[in-house]
Amino acid sequence: MSVHARAMSDRQIVVRSMVSRWFSTLLTVLTVAVAVALMIVLVSLRSSAKSVFERGSGNMHLLVSADTSPLASVLNSVFYAGTPSRSLGYIEQQRLARDPRVAWAVPTLVGDSYKGFPVVATTPDFFSKFSIDVRSLSTSASEISTWKMQTGKVFKSNFQVVLGSDVASSTGLQVGDHMSLTHGMSGAGGHVHDEFVFDVVGVLARTGTPHDRAVFVSLESSWILHAHDRREREGLIEHDEHDNHDHHDHEGHDHPPPTTLDDVTLDDQRITAIMVHGRTREGRSTSASIGAIAGELRSNPLLTVADPTAEVNSLFELIGGIDIVLRAMAGVVLVSSSIGIMLALYNSMDQRKRQIAVLRVLGASRWRVLRLVLAEAMMIGILGALLGLVMAFAGSALVTSVLRALTGVVVQPNISGLATLGIGAGAVVLATLAGLVPAVMAYRTSVAKNLKPLG
């Protein structure tokens, strides 16, 4: 028999053996595939997710708020994970803006919503000073701006709205449409201010960050809504029952709103956060004075001062612990699948002893029989690794889609060829090692004992 013919014969023997036990083989391959896919997805998504969060926090040096903790402040005011628990007086932003060590201080107010999307009340400086492109840390945000308009323009006056790309695509709103905001979060005791009609003037291009799921309005517009609620509580104006309306339901609301900017008092002028960028030297991203500014602000017990970059790092250190646990679980699944390979082959040895004896009589050596069993275990590992790679691509796409739908974060899976090769090779090696015990059993199979007549 030629070497080529012999090799073909070996492959046929391995394939027929696997097909004859197709159910147990399939389950074992799937177990290996799940473990491989889980490990690849964890490795690929972690680094890209961190990059997205770093981009989202952008070029601010500090985030000043009255939230319960620095991390909560960043999550609520930058990534819109929840509603800030406390607010600040607008005077705090004015003090910071006058500080000669501060290049800019952009106020934001988060707490209202539109059909579940967070409303961010701010100033036009949000789009001209704050940049979500971390490359802008090397220069001024006014020179490199990542905020691009898909259509329309940035708001210039009150009751104008700029929509994040996901808001526009989900609601169907376009430039020129009208809408009313919900004071508070939808479904959480909030009510629609349908007496105040906002005009959509712009839609932002996609950024791949939570800002895509935000609705941006002027700070004064939000203050007017809050002043209106206060005046209703004080009995200065008649309270109306507010029902939910969409952007088509504004007929009959052409009369002037009962509350204007003139009705806004100092107490109504609240904000939930201040994005701060310290003055820097040309070509530098860090500010020599930002540490002193942060120290002074932290001396005020009513203020929470966060370094967004540090908080993102701490968040991923926390996630890193969970990540290690998940990787360990994937490793346990992979080892368990290897044990499954060993048990499946081991349990089949009693049924295959006669077949092995026949092979020996036909000229197969003990070493060839051992190699056949190892080859079968290796083949299961290879099939599991290949299927796991396919599942990893599909799983990464699914996770990306779900994250984008829920948070607006677009995480591009960064599947490293080297890491994937290492994980796949590890799975194959473990599977092959798992075949050693049944292979040794096959090696020791007695020809004479197993060729006795049946019965």
What digits encode the pLDDT tens for the residues 402-426? 776 666 566 666 666 787 888 888 8
Are the beta carbons of 404 and 421 closer than 8 angstroms? no
Q: What is the DSSP string of 346-369?
A: HHHHHHHHHHHHHHHHTT--HHHH
> Is the same domain home to 118 and 43?
no
Does residue 71 lie within any of the structural domains?
Answer: yes
Sorted by sequence, the CB contacts under 8 Å of residue 181 that are 6+ apart come out as: 112, 113, 114, 119, 192, 193, 196, 198, 215, 217, 225
> Is the same domain home to 237 and 286?
yes
Does residue 350 lie within any of the structural domains?
Answer: yes
User: Which residue range(s) make up the domain with 184?
Assistant: 62-306
> Is the same domain home to 132 and 215?
yes
Are the beta carbons of 168 and 203 closer than 8 angstroms? yes
Does residue 57 lie within any of the structural domains?
Answer: no
Are the beta carbons of 244 and 184 closer than 8 angstroms? no
190 has pLDDT over 70: no
> Is the same domain home to 394 and 364?
yes
> Is the same domain home to 343 and 231?
no
Nearest 5°: the CA angle 226, 228, 234 is 105
In this structure, of 17-31, 148-162, 313-327, 391-405, the range with the lowest mean pLDDT score is 313-327
In this structure, of 111-120, 243-252, 335-344, the range with the lowest mean pLDDT score is 243-252
Strand partners of residue 106: 275
216, 195, 199: which is closest to 260 by C-alpha? Answer: 195
The residue-averaged pLDDT of 289-296 equals: 89
Does residue 12 lie within any of the structural domains?
Answer: yes
How far apart are alpha carbons 37 and 398 in whole angstroms?
13
How far apart are alpha carbons 302 and 239 in whole angstroms?
33
* Type of residue at 343: L
Integer angstrom CA distances of residue 352 from 24, 27, 359, 429, 447? 15, 20, 11, 24, 12
* Cβ neighbour number for residue 264 with a 10 Å cutoff: 18
Dihedral pair phi/psi, residue 233, rounded to 5°: -65, -35
Q: Which residue has the tokens 């049944």?
A: 438
Domain end position, chosen among 306, 328, 349: 306
Are the beta carbons of 165 and 114 closer than 8 angstroms? no
pLDDT for the residue numbered 325: 75
Residue spans of beta strands (DSSP E) within 282-358: 304-306
Q: Cα 299 vs. chain centroid, distance in angstroms? A: 34
Are the beta carbons of 342 and 437 closer than 8 angstroms? yes
The residue-averaged pLDDT of 15-39 equals: 84
How far apart are alpha carbons 453 and 442 in whole angstroms?
20
Does residue 138 lie within any of the structural domains?
Answer: yes
The residue-averaged pLDDT of 259-277 equals: 87
Does residue 378 lie within any of the structural domains?
Answer: yes
Please give the structure tokens belonging to residue 362: 């036909």
How far apart are alpha carbons 394 and 407 in whole angstroms?
20
Query: Across the chain, which distance is largest between two alpha carbons, in Å?
Result: 106
Whole-model pTM over 0.75: no
> Is the same domain home to 344 and 446?
yes
> Is the same domain home to 264 and 350?
no
For 350-386, the pLDDT digits (tens) are 666 556 666 665 666 677 777 888 888 889 889 999 9
In this structure, of 130-134, 282-286, 300-304, the range with the lowest mean pLDDT score is 282-286
Q: What is the count of structural domains for the chain?
A: 2
> Is the same domain home to 100 and 225?
yes
Please give the structure tokens belonging to residue 49: 């997710």
Does residue 234 lie within any of the structural domains?
Answer: yes
> Is the same domain home to 231 and 352?
no
338 has pLDDT over 70: yes
The residue-averaged pLDDT of 228-257 equals: 60
Are the beta carbons of 278 and 287 closer than 8 angstroms? yes
Domain end position, chosen among 306, 324, 358: 306
> Is the same domain home to 265 and 146?
yes
Domain end position, chosen among 243, 271, 306: 306
* Type of residue at 443: Y
How far apart are alpha carbons 144 and 279 in whole angstroms?
16
Residue 328 or 117, more confident: 117
Does residue 359 lie within any of the structural domains?
Answer: yes
Q: What is the DSSP string of 176-235?
A: T-EE--EES-TTTT-EE-TTSPEEEEEEEPP-SSGGGG-EEEEHHHHHHHHHHHHHHHTT
CA dihedral 45→51→52→58, nearest 10 degrees, is 170
> Is the same domain home to 279 and 404?
no
Share of the chain above pLDDT 90, in %: 28
> Is the same domain home to 24 and 142?
no
